[in-house]
Structure 1
Amino acid sequence: MTDTRVPPPLTGDELTVLNNWLEWHRATLAVKCEGLSDDQLRLRSAEPSIMSLLGLVRHMAHVERSWFRVVLNGEDIPKLWGKELDNDNDFKQVDSAKVQEAFDVWQEEIEHARRISSAKPLDAVGERHGGECSHRWILVHMIEEYARHNGHADLLRERIDGVTGE
């Protein structure tokens, strides 16, 4: 695996630190998926779990879209992967999912998120379930979301080919 991640700075203003940690975790998921075949990316963890690396990529594309475009930016756009029919479709539908499409959509949603985030102050608020949600909270939540799922990704990758790491 080629690891080109840049470690987050140990000092800096709040926005710089938050953005760098989010970028670190986005890149970590990419590293965990690097060099695997489509079949390996589809490999599920252990029953009854439906989790796979491809499912995680699809899930994080949805999460990026939901928090930045829908909540923070107020866009009225459809959910990805048929999640309006079944909230777990990002994980359930990996056997027939197009791998490159999933990675492309994930990267597109990250680009949308970066653009939206860079245009908003940390105190900007969006709406979620009728309440306010700050940009700051969204960034912290995204770091937490990636960190949790990167732990899953590490276990999945170790199961696939024995590779482990931060």
Structure 2
Amino acid sequence: MPAAHRRDTPPPRTGSSETEVLRGFLGYLRDSIAAKVEGAPEPQVRTYRTPSGTNLLGLLHHLTAVERATFLGEEVADWQATFDAPAADSVADVVARYRETVARADAVLDGCAGLDAPVPRPPTRRPAPSIRWALVHMIEETGRHAGHADILRELTDGTTGR
């Protein structure tokens, strides 16, 4: 199968404040993984490509759950289950849900006073992390899975690049 190539997008040029840098890189990674999943063919996008059961669509579904847990305070009962998108959901559905969750998370971040403040969310048994911790965690989580998605998309239909 001939490989399709997308033009790679360089890392963002951000403002110089810590908040601008962290949010800029998180936004870049969010866009990168959504672009990697968009247009992926069914049913190959759901095909397990590793012995652990990882698939391209499941990565984005998982990241949606992580965003919701981190920034919106939603509880996740079974993290392993987040790696499989519902069969009734199309690629476009999963991408749209991810983008909507990101917009909601960004709205929360827009209302925060500073990086040392806790993530505002409903009370739970665990204390909320700081905005700084949440941003760094989402950068590493999204970056790690974006790397996985690069490989999985190439294995799915030969598409490489961003």
Report if TM-score (shorter chain) is over 0.5.
Answer: yes
- Deviation at 1:128? 7.3
What is the one-letter code of the residue matched to 2:63?
M
Matched, 1:164 2:154: no
- Asked if the contact 2:67–2:105 (Cα under 8 Å) also holds between the matched residues in 1, the reply is yes
* Residue 107 (structure 1) aligns with: 99
Pairwise CA RMSD: 2.4
Q: Which runs of 5+ in 1 are unaligned?
A: 71-76
Matched, 1:53 2:56: yes
- Deviation at 1:159? 0.7
Corresponding residue to 1:125 among 100, 109, 118: 118
In structure 1, C-alpha distance between the alignment counterparts of 2:155 and 2:116, rounded to whole Å:
41
Instruction: Go from structure 1 to structure 2 and tell me whether the alpha carbon gap of 1:95 and 1:45 turns closer, same or farther (over 3 Å shift).
Output: farther
The number of residues matched between the two structures is 153
Alignment TM-score, normalising by the size of structure 1: 0.79
Q: Which runs of 5+ in 2 are unaligned?
A: none
Instruction: Go from structure 1 to structure 2 and tell me whether the alpha carbon gap of 1:34 and 1:95 turns closer, same or farther (over 3 Å shift).
Output: same
In structure 2, C-alpha distance between the alignment counterparts of 1:161 and 1:131, rounded to whole Å:
43
- Asked if the contact 1:22–1:139 (Cα under 8 Å) also holds between the matched residues in 2, the reply is yes
Question: More deviation in 99-108 or 122-131?
Answer: 122-131
- Asked if the contact 2:67–2:101 (Cα under 8 Å) also holds between the matched residues in 1, the reply is yes
* Residue 91 (structure 1) aligns with: 83
Higher strand share: 1
Q: Give the fraction of aligned pairs with identical amino acids, expressed as a percent.
A: 35
**1:117-140, Cα deviation, whole Å (9 max, x unpaired):** 011021111477634511011001
* Residue 42 (structure 2) aligns with: 38
- Deviation at 1:40? 2.5
SS in 1 for 2:129: strand
In structure 1, C-alpha distance between the alignment counterparts of 2:71 and 2:86, rounded to whole Å:
28
- Deviation at 1:96? 1.6
What is the one-letter code of the residue matched to 1:112?
R
**1:11-40, Cα deviation, whole Å (9 max, x unpaired):** 511111111100110011012113222313
**1:39-78, Cα deviation, whole Å (9 max, x unpaired):** 132122122x2111110111011011110010xxxxxx5x
* Residue 73 (structure 1) aligns with: none
What is the one-letter code of the residue matched to 1:152?
H
In structure 1, C-alpha distance between the alignment counterparts of 2:148 and 2:127, rounded to whole Å:
30
Instruction: Go from structure 1 to structure 2 and tell me whether the alpha carbon gap of 1:4 and 1:117 turns closer, same or farther (over 3 Å shift).
Output: farther
